[in-house]
Structure 1
Amino acid sequence: MAFNRFWFWYSTIALLLHATTLATDCPESPTLLHLSDGPYENYFYSDCDSSSHIIVTSPLPNSNLDLIGPRLLVAWPAGNSGIVSIFESQNGQRGTLGIHLGDSSSVETVAPIYDEGKPYPEVGVTSSITFNNSATLTVPILGSIRIIRDYTEGGRYLHPNLQAANQFSITTDGGATINRTWLDGATTTWLTFTPMNGSDPIRINRDNSPVLLFGAGTYSFSASFNYPQLKRLSPKQVLNQASIGLIDAQPDETNSLSFLAYSDKLLAGAWRFLTYFGRDSMISLLLLQPVLSDGQGGAIEAVIGSVLERINKNDGSACHEEVIGDFATYMNIQDHNLVSDSPTCDYKMIDTDYYLPVVMKNYLVDTEAGKNRVSDFLKTTASFLADNKGLTYEALAQITAEKIMQTSAPFAAPGGQTKANLIHLKDNQSVGEWRDSGNGIGGGRIPYDVNTALVPAALRAIAALSRAGFFTDHPEWATVADTYADVWEDYTLQFFEVVIPQTGAVSLVKDYVNQSKFPGPSQTETIQSDIKFYGLALDGGNDQPVVRVMNTDDCFRHFLLETSNQTQLSSFLSQTADNILQPFPVGLSSSVGLFVANPAYGGDPSYAQGFTRTDYHGTVVWSWQLAMMGAGLARQLRRCEADGVPVFCHDESLYRKIVAAYNHLWDLIDANKDQLGGEVWTWTYNNGFQAAPLGDFTASESDIRQLWSLTFLAIQRETFKQYRLNGSTT
């Protein structure tokens, strides 16, 4: 999965000839980023007026044609909007139609559309597309990225009422236009194709559903809409002054970050998640904070403010995903029989709540810039959700903190350390934390990461915020929250612990290799002792008390907590190091990175079937988990260089093992630099692992750029000394 990265800075008039009308007040030159991830070619265009992401998909000789076909997709952050055009060869033979952006005899070009209009300008992009033979545009979807996701990931489902609103027309120059007015009755999306260089005129076949017919050749296209735009943060605006040098050092990553950063929120990823996701925003902030801009109008406050804006004031839940644009109108009609584009929120996740106190504490308590902004920031009144209008950020933050304190109290109470008092998924929900695919936590109801790391981290943050003068209605939280955190830190791990005797572990791994048809070696000769790990969840889909899947979620506890139970800390670090150092399928390590799940010890065929290289949270690699694991182990190792050195620092064998695991992890990170900016990747095996796009095997293709996958801008490899038992260092 090699990414070819190059920037085109537009400074010539020739490139702008495609533009409809150019805005004249943009202070910086527009930019285009091209990222190649065959069969996907990605082009990002941004200026001060709008941002666009173009994806041209053309199957490769080895592509799975049931999943991958010729496609032109344009995604816009504003309104989480976009268009997709699905093409087929007119000869009916799959795999014979190839498409690419731009005239094959010239440099690929993308230019902006900007046409003044009321109440909002028409904005978008224009370029050209070339077909190697005659093509049919069979499926156009115009309006919402959520609807496009329904089609690409939902078994090719089309919403008939929305598709019926598409209008087709032939233009006088032999081209064709498809347009659709949104459900709000005011916004329109346009997609126009025009023949170039003597290519055949476009024809419309109106039998059944209308389709457009193209000849072989090149056609210019324009994709635009008239919807209020977001205020993008330029690379200089999204980074703090000390990190400006990253713009020249890492132009791909910094400009990708800028594409996802706006004055009132950061977006999760392009193209599938080009909108607010609370968990993604806050995890990204936790990892990226050292390089992000602070103060009013900065990226840090954009993240925290966006979460506070979307709090459910009735129960304190933080918003997982916002529902905006045409999809908001669609859902308001479906749910309330009301034609309204008012945004709403999805509150089904349980983990998002716990990040909020942590990011608030890290900024508003731990930094000078944040301390100086406390009063003004907390006095800000919410305006995004109708239900929250007039409420201050301070009030909304307290509502969420009250929820956390109330729900964590039963487990923290004397004698309350029972499974029933742990945090469960919400009723009638099968997902609730970052592994939010259908089988992400193996059908479990009580997630490992939430209970062992996120809850105590939030409690520690609430205590620190209270001591700093926050939550004046609850002064007792300054001590009570810490007391609760002590209990959650010390007594939750035991519920998730899995220990498998050496002989049984060897047998289980061999069984897994047979069940999963894993083509590589079993590596069972490396099992020299019992296997220990902490399972993904409790109360899974079988009779086992723990979902026995080894995983990378140890990273949350390493990154978020500095626990004081020395025996437990040493044991926890030891098993993490073991599982990082051991090769898959014994451990988590492969040459393409750490797999986020290893089901080899499940002892149930359903594990091998449910956690595969084609599953979103299966035996695949996620960039941000590598970053958090690296940052978490570094945090623990740095404790050995400070006062109050933990016991593990003086255990020479254990300390060296942890350093070895840390360095091995970074060797894997360095070896997979080309993949790091993407969301998730999988593998093929041929005398070893080779990285491969997840979209080669499943309809859930990976985003080429994901917000939390850009965190290596801030997370860097560190060097740690080896400590001897006598306290000397080498």
Structure 2
Amino acid sequence: MLRPSRFLAALFAAVSVAQDTCNEPASRLYLPDPPYDNYIYFDCHSSSHVILTSPMSNSNFSILGPRLLMAWPAGNSGLAAYFEPTDGVNGTLTPRLENSTSTGEILNPIYEPIEGSDPRVGVSGSVNFNVPANLTIPILGSIRTIRDFAEGSSILDPGVQGGLRFSQSDDNGATVNRTWFDNITTTVLTFTPFDGAQPVIIDSNSNHLLFGAGTYRFNASFNYPHLEQLNQTEALNPQSADLIQQQPDQTTSLSFLSYEDKLLAGTWRFLTYFGRDSMISMLLMQPVLSEGENGAIEAVISAVLERINRADGTVCHEEVIGDYATYLNLKENITSTEPRCDYKMVDTDYLLPIAMQNYFVDTSTGQQRSDEFFNTTATFLVENDGLTYGTLAEITISKIMNATSAFASPGGQTIQNLIHLRASEPVGEWRDSNNGLGGGRIPYDVNAALVPAGLRAIAALSRAGFFANRPEWNETADRYAQVWEDSTLQFFEVVVPQSEAVSLVESYVADGSLSVPTNTDNITGDMTYYGVALDGNVPPPSNASSPVVPVMNTDDCFRHFFLNTTNQAQLSAFLNQTADHILNPFPVGLASDVGLFVANPAYAGNASFAANFSRGAYHGTVVWGWQLAMMGAGLGRQLGRCSSSNVPDFCNDTPLYNKVLSSYNRLWDLVENNEAQLSSEVWSWNYDNGYQATPLGSIIATESNIRQLWSLTFLAVRREKFGGSG
């Protein structure tokens, strides 16, 4: 028998039979994203996201087939059922979900109280198969297991699949169930024929379920401790309550991802804690999020502090909980359900002091809550037992001060002293696909923006009385920040002469067989940009000795949003090149009909390298909603400085100011023209007399989350009115 974590044991002990009827109405959301149909349901008992994948005539059948998937925030758990047409002809099976004949709804809740244990919860519905179908691969337990299968090598651990049990039911149906590695929790999926459909048959040789053409009811449920959800009113501050009526889709989505002890990154693939995602979301959405105890802002910061690595101060990137945590523990011969954390990222540490300052220093609620909050004792990770939030925060701040001191020292402004990815890791910041940084080891966003912004926040926290035993951080952190602000951009700068830029863009389009216009008439001078990283796979063709990864990108937004830099010549030049990239259409710049591409490899001069940043790459020539939000908020912040008491020089440079303002308005035009995509994680495109948005998952196996926490930030980030002429 596996030992439950003390966290789960406490929950099990405290469980009583909950009320059968919820006091508040259930929330429902239908989100079509062909070939995916998404249905979200939640009430006081449980939360569910159901996705039906139904191939279209133009689908790539090698990566996309019929599938019914359930995702549950509790335990980051769920199930997936992969189907094939019985006749084996890809594309002939196009399942759909049908409304209940009794309730008229697509999904209905399952709630079965169990004396002395957690209730069995989930959803029921009806699926119609237009042709006979086989359920070939059921996966029950962890979303992480499903994600690894869907995006990896399509191989499942025999230990996971070996736990599947198949049984026939008296009503001509069939059930697949699996007990988790904790020997407590069970996931159950049942199909029952409806309206004259043929019986479900279990093929004992293959463990397939066989269906005829027709409609089948399904029940999908599990018994695991429920998360305490924040409803829409609880997730938002009182001043923002009108958003519930004005933007019901986004506020319902926010509530689905918001809980008293953490906010979840996205659904279905990232339905759990991710430190970077939650803090960036908080910082962009802070004007509308709830404050105080059990509010959304404190849920974010407390979740981060709970998961800090006490040994070195690293902030947790992704938690591992539920069945997948037990599975990984068993792989190490540890009999435990204790959660685990992934600490491989190098960017997330620097977001913590920024989030702390923005709330505990800059808001009255945070100031009042500070003492009680930081005296809270951590309970999530057994290794952090006995440590207060204040102690854990100080461990991380000490790590940051130590990591940034060498570069800030006299004569220390060298590549060697910049922040590098961990030696054993290919990723370490938000562009965390294997090709996201083009092989780079020293990320631009971390060094040129997050490090100095984190240091500024540490100085502000110190001045406010935090870290009383380290009073020198007040002055030291500000001094470090100034050096990092002023001296990091130079390492990432790429300048491509005009004639070479024209040639590179034309070759990029031709060599990549792209069907898009080159737009090289827009190249009227040398092209300047800041590459995504240093020490990559290919140097810029204009400078073979340069270590810069030659990919234009949107990560300028970090510096615009997080910093008010004071080097006037540098600030003006930086704003100028950002504006150029927004005003220039791809592949000269970053703009397209579907938004700003987060990467543009047109200036790399290497076709095979550029192919890694295609419209089918997770961090390639694709659009991420939150990067649009941060760019909008960042440029708005810089333009807003022109009305401050300390006006930057660019504000009085009329041509430059107007260019920046034009780029801001161009960006917001793109945002408003792509409203249908904004709340999703990432989207790609097809080109046919213009760019048309298309799901990334229709091109590659990696799907986009239909709702991503940091893509909901347009609830708070909005277009502002700025006057023309500086």
> What amino acid does structure 2 have at the position aligned with 1:367?
T
Partner of 2:170: 172
- How far apart are the structure 2 equivalents of 1:399 and 1:516? 48
Residues 1:626 and 2:628 are matched in the alignment: yes
Q: 169, 188, 204: which one pairs with 1:190?
A: 188
Whether the 8 Å contact between 2:375 and 2:388 is mirrored in structure 1 is: yes
Partner of 2:160: 162
Partner of 1:640: 642
Partner of 2:46: 50
- Cα shift at 1:23: 4.2
Q: How does 1:42-441 map to 2 (within 5 A)?
A: 42-103=38-99, 107-117=104-114, 118-207=116-205, 209-334=206-331, 336-441=332-437
- Cα shift at 1:22: 9.3
Q: Deviations over 1:319-357 (max 9, x none)?
A: 0000000000010011x2012110000000000000000
Partner of 2:706: 704
- How far apart are the structure 1 equivalents of 2:626 and 2:266? 13
Whether the 8 Å contact between 1:489 and 1:563 is mirrored in structure 2 is: yes
Q: Deviations over 1:512-558 (max 9, x none)?
A: 11121110111111100100000000000135510010000000000
> What amino acid does structure 1 have at the position aligned with 2:139?
I
Whether the 8 Å contact between 1:22 and 1:113 is mirrored in structure 2 is: no
- Cα shift at 1:438: 0.6
> What amino acid does structure 2 have at the position aligned with 1:648?
F
> What amino acid does structure 2 have at the position aligned with 1:671?
N
Partner of 2:560: 558
- Cα shift at 1:109: 2.1
- How far apart are the structure 2 equivalents of 1:520 and 1:499? 24
- How far apart are the structure 2 equivalents of 1:296 and 1:556? 29
- How far apart are the structure 1 equivalents of 2:646 and 2:29? 48
- How far apart are the structure 1 equivalents of 2:723 and 2:575? 17
> What amino acid does structure 1 have at the position aligned with 2:126?
S
> What amino acid does structure 2 have at the position aligned with 1:62?
N
RMSD over aligned CA atoms reads 1.1
- Cα shift at 1:469: 0.4
Residues 1:507 and 2:508 are matched in the alignment: no
TM-score by length of 2: 0.96
Q: How does 1:426-465 map to 2 (within 5 A)?
A: 426-465=422-461
Q: Deviations over 1:627-656 (max 9, x none)?
A: 000000000000000101000000000000
Whether the 8 Å contact between 1:104 and 1:130 is mirrored in structure 2 is: no
Whether the 8 Å contact between 1:103 and 1:218 is mirrored in structure 2 is: no
Whether the 8 Å contact between 1:22 and 1:114 is mirrored in structure 2 is: no
Q: Secondary structure at the match of 1:674?
A: coil
Whether the 8 Å contact between 2:47 and 2:73 is mirrored in structure 1 is: yes
Q: Deviations over 1:52-91 (max 9, x none)?
A: 0000111011111111111000000000000000001111
Q: Secondary structure at the match of 1:291?
A: coil
Question: Which has the larger displacement, 455-464 or 112-121?
Answer: 112-121
- How far apart are the structure 2 equivalents of 1:230 and 1:389? 22
- How far apart are the structure 2 equivalents of 1:105 and 1:694? 34
- How far apart are the structure 2 equivalents of 1:540 and 1:520? 27
> What amino acid does structure 2 have at the position aligned with 1:332?
N
- How far apart are the structure 2 equivalents of 1:156 and 1:430? 22
Q: Which runs of 5+ in 2 are unaligned?
A: 1-16, 540-545
Q: How does 1:630-709 map to 2 (within 5 A)?
A: 630-709=632-711
Whether the 8 Å contact between 1:515 and 1:608 is mirrored in structure 2 is: no
> What amino acid does structure 1 have at the position aligned with 2:182?
D
Whether the 8 Å contact between 1:183 and 1:339 is mirrored in structure 2 is: no
Whether the 8 Å contact between 2:119 and 2:224 is mirrored in structure 1 is: yes
Partner of 2:4: none
Whether the 8 Å contact between 1:499 and 1:532 is mirrored in structure 2 is: yes
Partner of 2:30: 34
> What amino acid does structure 1 have at the position aligned with 2:547?
P
- Cα shift at 1:108: 4.3
> What amino acid does structure 1 have at the position aligned with 2:430?
W
> What amino acid does structure 2 have at the position aligned with 1:280?
D
- How far apart are the structure 2 equivalents of 1:27 and 1:287? 32
- How far apart are the structure 1 equivalents of 2:374 and 2:384? 14
The structure 1 segments of at least 4 consecutive aligned residues displaced by more than 4 Å after TM superposition are: 103-108
- How far apart are the structure 2 equivalents of 1:58 and 1:386? 43
> What amino acid does structure 2 have at the position aligned with 1:347?
Y
- How far apart are the structure 2 equivalents of 1:506 and 1:23? 68
- Cα shift at 1:104: 9.2
Q: Secondary structure at the match of 1:374?
A: helix
Whether the 8 Å contact between 1:22 and 1:115 is mirrored in structure 2 is: no
- How far apart are the structure 1 equivalents of 2:674 and 2:611? 27
> What amino acid does structure 2 have at the position aligned with 1:259?
F
Q: Deviations over 1:559-607 (max 9, x none)?
A: 0000000000000000000111000000000010000000000122233
- How far apart are the structure 2 equivalents of 1:235 and 1:25? 19
> What amino acid does structure 2 have at the position aligned with 1:237?
E
Q: Secondary structure at the match of 1:437?
A: coil
Shift in CA distance, 468/25, structure 1 to aligned 2, threshold 3 Å: farther
- How far apart are the structure 1 equivalents of 2:99 and 2:462? 61
> What amino acid does structure 1 have at the position aligned with 2:29?
L
> What amino acid does structure 1 have at the position aligned with 2:131?
N
- How far apart are the structure 1 equivalents of 2:211 and 2:665? 54
Partner of 2:14: none
Q: Secondary structure at the match of 1:442?
A: coil
Partner of 1:469: 465
Whether the 8 Å contact between 1:103 and 1:129 is mirrored in structure 2 is: no
Q: Secondary structure at the match of 1:356?
A: helix
Whether the 8 Å contact between 1:263 and 1:298 is mirrored in structure 2 is: yes
Residues 1:531 and 2:533 are matched in the alignment: no
